[in-house]
Structure 1
Amino acid sequence: MSGLPHSLHALVTGGGRGIGREIASTLARAGVTVTVLGRNRAALDDAVAAGAAHFASVADVADQAAINAAVTEAAARQPIDILIANAGAAESAPFARSDAALFRRMMDVNFMGVVYAAQAVLPAMKDRPYGRIVAVASTAGLKGYAYVSAYSAAKHAVVGLVRSLALELAGTRVTVNAVCPGFTDTDLLTGSIDTIMKRTGRSHEQAVAELAKHNPQGRLVTPAEVADTVLWLCGEGAGSITGQAIAVAGGEV
């Protein structure tokens, strides 16, 4: 049971694929009206056609004006009660070769994308009888990994934002939390697997095992496990859960 009130509207950024699409589909099955947002119109339309969402908006989360316009468009259909700030990107490089542009790219997408989306929905959401903001961060926001210093820094920033914003909004009906998945079996992980294969000469199976070893359960997390955690946080029973960074990582953190 989701424990969700009726007639809610959720906006899911990065909702066209991977974890975002799974979250959108899970919320839609629970009776929530879902708008997915992202840069890839084809992926978003496919999500709608497959029943994983009801509406789609094209916008780059790193573009504040585009996010504001997309939120205005979505809210005109139905006020937004739930924001899932999921959009993200990961690039790996040794710190010595991580230039300012790399750090800016990681911060713009992974951190400022959360900031822009939250700032766009909050003025109206604070006046609603129900509000949930869930940022999809990463175990990289709770610990360090080698060769992803920029990505890890951005995800740490997301967790800090969640904790501070939750305190600011504690007197309202809005809760703010982060979900921090470990290595998850999505197309985003394919790039990391390809990098390991190219740099080490390992097979695909060996590269997957290299990532799965971080998880004490010895496996990759599934998108459905992340989505179920988000669904719980969006429910009425999680009304006292705010300012938390919940790891979905098989005991890694």
Structure 2
Amino acid sequence: MTRRVLITGGGSGIGRALARAFAEADDKVTISGRRMDALRETDGGRGMECRKADVTDEASVAALFDASFDVVIANAGGGTAGRLRNITLEDWNRTLAVNLTGTFLTFRAALEGMGAGGRLIAMASTASLKGGPTIAAYAASKHGVLGLVRSVALEVAKRGITCNAICPGFVDTPLAEAAAQAVQERYGLERAAAEARVVEGNPVGRLVAPSEVVAAARFLASPEASMVNGHALSVSGGEV
């Protein structure tokens, strides 16, 4: 059966990998983001519907749901790294808006038309499960996402809908590349040493492959995962 799948933040990284995987499984995929050129690159002729949207804007999110979806993945996110004393109120509010408020607005709109068998999935982070010395705003927002997921899961269980979170470690995407480059420049390290520092919290000692996050999402979206609800699925090599 062909399902309608929405993925926010579908223009790059994990969102791009998710969108292509669901499209290749013959699902009808809609991707949203702030840059149409990036969304079209993700599509690459696969027949996805590309919708420009800002997940921090209530009306923009509502406009995505002119029809109902069977699977909704709240993937859009971001944040500013830095010690708490250096984080401005603008940094804080922007991080909470895209990560937490964006997930809230996406899930709330999704539930208006979602029926039994529906799947809500939040792309969270290992930062949903632990803190870090330079990620106070990001970790706070992602902890909030996990609280939202666990609460929504209890609300929708009797409707035959599930709500879960995926909590990846550092994934091999442009964001990880930027993190490694920043470490390299800050500490004057060789490239290999900088990447090793980025992944030092992962016992396996490497970046998570986007395909490994996709596999988790495909499982949570499947009929076989109907009794997995309110769960935080860590894809981190044992980091948490």
TM-score by length of 2: 0.97
Give unmatched runs, 5+ long, in structure 1.
Answer: 1-5
Query: Take 2:70 and 2:221, find their aligned partners in 1: how far apart are those partners?
Result: 10
Task: Say whether the 8 Å CA contact 2:103–2:145 is kept in structure 1.
Answer: yes
2:20 alignment partner in structure 1? 25
Hey, what does 1:152 align to over in structure 2? Answer: 139
Q: In the alignment, does 2:82 pair up with 1:88? A: no
| Corresponding residue number in structure 2 for 1:202 | 189
Contact in 1 for aligned 2:116/2:159 (Cα 8 Å) = no
The residue number in structure 1 matching 2:223 is 236
Contact 2:72 2:110 (C-alpha < 8 Å) held by counterparts: yes
- Matches of 2:161 and 2:12 in 1, distance apart? 27
Partner of 2:116: 129
State the AA in 2 paired with 1:62: T
Q: How far is 1:40 from its partner?
A: 1.1
Any residues of structure 2 matched to 1:21-170 within 5 Å, and which? 21-51=16-46, 54-72=48-66, 75=67, 79-125=68-114, 128-170=115-157
Query: Runs ≥4 in structure 1, deviation > 3 angstroms?
Result: none
What percentage of aligned pairs have identical amino acids?
40
Cα pair 1:34 1:54 within 8 Å, conserved: yes
- Structure 2 residue aligned with 1:16: 11
Say which is worse superposed, 23-32 or 8-17, in terms of deviation: 23-32
Query: What do residues 86-126 of structure 1 show as CA deviations (whole Å, max 9, x unaligned)?
Result: 0111311111111211110110001111011111111110x
- In the aligned structure 1, how far is the partner of 2:190 from the partner of 2:61? 40
Task: Spell out, residue by residue over 1:39-90, the C-alpha distance to the aligned partner (whole angstroms, 9 max, x if none).
Answer: 1110101122242x61110011111111111222xx2xxx311100001113
Name the SS of the counterpart of 2:112 in structure 1.
helix
Instruction: Provide the secondary structure at the position in 1 that maps to 2:122.
Output: strand
Report what 1:3 is aligned to.
Answer: none
Please say if residues 12 and 20 of structure 1, whose CA atoms lie closer than 8 Å, have aligned partners that are also in contact. yes
Counterpart residue type for residue 83 of structure 2: P
In structure 1, distance between residues paired with 2:126 and 2:148: 15
CA distance in structure 1 between the aligned counterparts of 2:127 and 2:137, rounded to whole angstroms: 10
Q: How much does 1:217 deviate?
A: 0.5
Q: Output the CA distance in 1 between the equivalents of 2:94 and 2:213.
A: 25
Amino acid at match of 1:153: A
Structure 2: tracts of 5 or more residues without a match: none
One-letter amino acid of the structure 1 residue matched with residue 94 of structure 2: R
* Partner SS for 2:170: coil
Offset, 1:129: 3.4
Indicate if the aligned counterparts of 2:117 and 2:226 stay in contact, CA closer than 8 A. no
Q: Which amino acid aligns with 1:157?
A: G
User: How many corresponding residue pairs?
Assistant: 240
Q: What RMSD, in angstroms, separates the aligned Cα atoms of the two structures?
A: 1.1
- Preserved CA contact (<8 Å) 1:26 1:228: no
Letter paired with 2:49: F
**What amino acid maps onto 1:19 in structure 2?**
I
Name which of structure 1's ranges 106-115 and 188-197 shifts more when overlaid on structure 2.
188-197
- Map Cα deviations across residues 122-142 of structure 1 (whole Å, 9 max, x no partner): 1110xx232000000000010
